[in-house]
């Protein structure tokens, strides 16, 4: 699938209908054998190779997509290096769901993931440099973009491709899977506006992340378009912080009628503080979260959140990386669209 | 640290006090340089090597531990292949916390993780075989041991070391990091017995896992020792299943006064069902979980659970694997001890 023929009108690439797994199942051979056959690599007999190619044609499997990219791959391995507090990584569902999506894709095409979690920023640069020089990976998927992120020029200098899971699309030659905040902000604000909310608050993640500052800016603009005011507070993604900032809002003058929280952990914290303060949810304050997760789903009341299609996003990032590494020109792609999961934590505004 | 000098009386190995990170920080050089110096590998000057060795001696860093093991390592990479439903992996905190623990260790010794999540059992064997033959890893950490688990003889045949994160210790030449269920069952039953519970139920995970059957057997034996009866039901680790089985218990004849759930997701489900049925928790039924997690901590009421020290266990498994791979004789080790986190979901039994 080339970048153009797979694009939907809304910019969303669809997943392939026929996969290597389908071919393997039909032929009762391993996916590795299918992959070897499609990629012209040793490891299968000529007869098997022909059976694979025949079935691929019959079923309309497009070997001009990932298969071509993978045939150009030196290592069939991608690298991910995450520099974040390990405790936070293990509490938030985001990373694990993303990794699972990436792994689902890699498993289908018989490729591998080399993973490193460094506790501190800076250490990640060492790892990117060494894995690149050692030729261990075809490229990297990068998360949590910072201002003037040093990883992007480093990888450019090293000549190693990357895909940034990103909120913006500067012209820096990095591959990008782009989730514009406009979409999520629109889902959240339309939901709250329809419920009569006019005075809302947003407790974000740290402003050091590009995507958090874009969220703040987009919320301000789209709230103004709808005649809503939005107070913005910088949080840390941590439970304690979500709790303290929510307490500050709800016990201060003119509490907002709805609070948007930047992640699931802070949303659960906000819900708990509201209940502990005797502030009815959603009767007095609605609580909504940027990212859906089991914590939001299993909270009581359940917390309204945007399902960011995190696993699909992981799949799409891995797929894009192999195509970028194979030299595809179009290095920017839209991430799968999110969907609002309306639950009991949001309801009509207390004051109109 | 050899297997003997690091053992505590209770069988728990302690973590090293001085790490490669400490040496790197003190010398203001990278951890990779420290590791190269300690392991006699190229990449550092003779002068730096001497400074590293001098400081290691001064601080009592024991290069006869992981460093020796790592110097024997061909790839400085370990493999993990998990065959489980991806949706479940991303919902349960267990895997991510274990991976984070493993990664913390690997980051300190500058080693890497090659990770594969295969959706189906059987596919994992293919991956183990190929990575072994391609010499991509020094060894594997295995989870979720089955009866007559085919992975263990396969790796033995391939001559690749492994560490099974395990509940038992058969004499099959596999390395094992052992969490005996006796410890957790003792913590849970002593807690419930002290609260006067005599008639309890246990909703386990699937019996296809060795550790689940050992839990069932241990619960039966230790409950009998305490004069308690325990009804055992086989669950699936899934929310829906935990909910259905809890409903069955609470609406049936002679409901138990306490329910032990095999994972966090089923425990949250049990709590929700009890609340929905109007059964006071813990007034009428106490809910306790085998594994602690943010879901247990953030539930309301908070769910009593055993903190299995999952991150520490991950670290210990990675450390043991490198030592086993380097030829250490003692290939069985006790996992770090768990601790009970008593919360509001457990209280005095309704009926004595």
pLDDT band at B318 (very low <50, low <70, confident <90, very high): very high
- Chain B interface, best mutation among A96, A130, A138, by max B CB count within 10 A: A96
Cα separation, A117 vs A68, in Å, equals: 30
Side-by-side strand order, sheet with B286-289: B229-234, B199-204, B258-261, B286-289, B304-307, B339-341
Per domain, the residue ranges of chain A are: 20-61, 77-180+310-337, 181-308
Q: A63-78: per-residue pLDDT in tens?
A: 545 656 666 677 889 9
Q: Closest Cα of chain B to A228: distance in Å?
A: 32
pLDDT at B109: 84
Q: A261-300: per-residue pLDDT in tens?
A: 999 999 999 999 999 999 999 999 999 999 998 889 999 9
Cα separation, B281 vs B278, in Å, equals: 9
Helical residues (DSSP H) of chain A, grouped into ranges: 20-27, 31-38, 46-59, 66-71, 86-91, 93-108, 123-133, 151-158, 181-194, 210-225, 239-251, 264-276, 294-298, 310-325
Domain B77-180+310-336 matches domain B181-308 at the CATH topology level:
yes
Say if the Cβ atoms of B300 and A275 lie within 8 Å. yes
pLDDT band at B352 (very low <50, low <70, confident <90, very high): very low
Q: B118-158: per-residue pLDDT in tens?
A: 877 778 999 999 999 989 999 999 998 988 899 999 999 99
Name the least confident of A46-60, A256-270, B278-292. A46-60
pLDDT at A263: 93
Question: Is the CB of residue B100 less than 8 Å away from at least one CB of chain A?
Answer: yes
pLDDT at B189: 98
Q: Tell me which CATH homologous superfamily contains domain B77-180+310-336.
A: Response regulator (3.40.50.2300)
- DSSP assigned state of B19: -
Q: Name beta bridge partners: B114.
A: A114, B79
Measured distance between the N- and C-terminal CA atoms of chain B, rounded to whole angstroms:
50
Q: Tell me which CATH homologous superfamily contains domain B181-308.
A: Response regulator (3.40.50.2300)
Chain A positions in Cβ-Cβ contact with residue B137 (cut-off 8 Å): none
Name the least confident of A141-145, B55-59, B76-80, B203-207. B55-59
Q: Tell me which CATH homologous superfamily contains domain A77-180+310-337.
A: Response regulator (3.40.50.2300)
Q: Name which of B89, B103, B130 is nearest A116 (Cβ-Cβ).
A: B103
Nearest CA in chain A to B78: A114
* Cβ pair B141, B106 in contact under 8 A: no
CATH 1.10.260.40 describes domain B20-71: yes
Question: Is the CB of residue B268 less than 8 Å away from at least one CB of chain A?
Answer: yes
pLDDT at B62: 61
Question: Is the CB of residue B186 less than 8 Å away from at least one CB of chain A?
Answer: no
Q: Percent of chain B beyond pLDDT 70?
A: 90
Nearest CA in chain B to A103: B117
Question: Is the CB of residue B311 less than 8 Å away from at least one CB of chain A?
Answer: yes
Question: Is the CB of residue A135 less than 8 Å away from at least one CB of chain B?
Answer: no
pLDDT band at B303 (very low <50, low <70, confident <90, very high): very high
Q: Name which of A90, A265, A268 is nearest B97 (Cβ-Cβ).
A: A90
Nearest CA in chain A to B115: A113
pLDDT at A66: 60
Q: A-B interface: how many C-beta pairs under 8 angstroms?
A: 111
Between 1.10.260.40, 1.10.10.10, 3.40.1410.10, 3.40.190.10, what CATH number should domain A20-61 receive?
1.10.260.40
pLDDT exceeds 70 at position A153: yes
Cα separation, B339 vs B184, in Å, equals: 8
Question: Is the CB of residue B312 less than 8 Å away from at least one CB of chain A?
Answer: no
Of B46-60, B89-103, B199-213, the range with the highest mean pLDDT is B199-213
Chain A positions in Cβ-Cβ contact with residue B272 (cut-off 8 Å): 298, 300
Q: B320-345: per-residue pLDDT in tens?
A: 999 898 888 888 999 999 999 999 99
How much is the mean pLDDT over chain A? 87
Which residues, including other chains, have CB under 8 Å from residue A166's CB and lie 6 or more apart? A145, A176, A177, A178, A179, A210, A211
* Cβ pair B178, B335 in contact under 8 A: yes
Task: Tell me the two tokens of residue B150.
Answer: 């085919």
Say if the Cβ atoms of B300 and A95 lie within 8 Å. no
Q: What dihedral do alpha carbons A145, A151, A156, A159 form, nearest 10°?
A: -120
pLDDT at B34: 82
Read off φ and ψ for residue B166, nearest 5 degrees: -140, 165
Say if the Cβ atoms of B106 and A116 lie within 8 Å. yes
pLDDT at A91: 74
């Amino acid at each position: 699938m080339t970048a153009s023929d797979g694009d939907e009108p809304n910019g969303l690439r669809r997943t392939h209908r026929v996969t290597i797994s389908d071919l393997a199942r039909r032929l009762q051979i391993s996916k590795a054998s299918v992959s070897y056959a499609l990629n012209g690599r040793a490891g299968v007999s000529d007869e098997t190779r022909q059976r694979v190619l025949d079935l691929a044609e019959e079923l309309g499997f497009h070997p001009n997509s990932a298969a071509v990219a993978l045939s150009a791959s030196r290592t069939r391995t991608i690298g991910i290096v995450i520099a974040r507090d390990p405790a936070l990584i293990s509490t938030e569902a985001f990373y694990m769901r993303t990794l699972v999506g990436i792994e689902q894709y890699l498993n289908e095409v018989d490729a591998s993931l080399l993973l490193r979690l460094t506790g501190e920023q800076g250490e990640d640069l060492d790892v990117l440099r060494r894995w690149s020089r050692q030729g261990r990976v075809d490229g990297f998927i990068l998360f949590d973009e910072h201002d003037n992120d040093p990883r992007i020029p480093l990888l450019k200098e090293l000549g190693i491709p990357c895909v940034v899971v990103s909120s913006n699309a500067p012209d820096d030659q990095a591959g990008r899977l782009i989730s514009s905040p406009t979409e999520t902000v629109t889902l959240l604000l339309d939901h709250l506006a329809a419920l009569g909310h006019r005075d809302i608050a947003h407790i974000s993640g740290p402003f050091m992340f590009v995507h958090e500052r874009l969220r703040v800016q987009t919320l301000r603009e789209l709230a103004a378009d709808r005649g809503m005011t939005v107070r913005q507070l910088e949080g840390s993604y941590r439970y304690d912080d979500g709790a303290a900032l929510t307490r500050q809002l709800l016990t201060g003058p003119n509490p907002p009628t709805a609070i948007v929280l930047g992640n699931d952990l802070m949303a659960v914290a906000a819900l708990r503080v509201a209940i502990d303060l005797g502030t009815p949810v959603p009767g007095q304050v609605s609580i909504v979260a940027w990212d859906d997760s089991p914590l939001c789903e299993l909270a009581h009341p359940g917390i309204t959140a945007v399902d960011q299609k995190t696993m699909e996003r992981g799949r799409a990032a891995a797929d894009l990386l192999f195509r970028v590494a194979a030299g595809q020109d179009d290095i920017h792609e839209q991430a799968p669209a999110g969907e609002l999961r309306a639950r009991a934590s949001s309801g009509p505004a207390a004051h109109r």
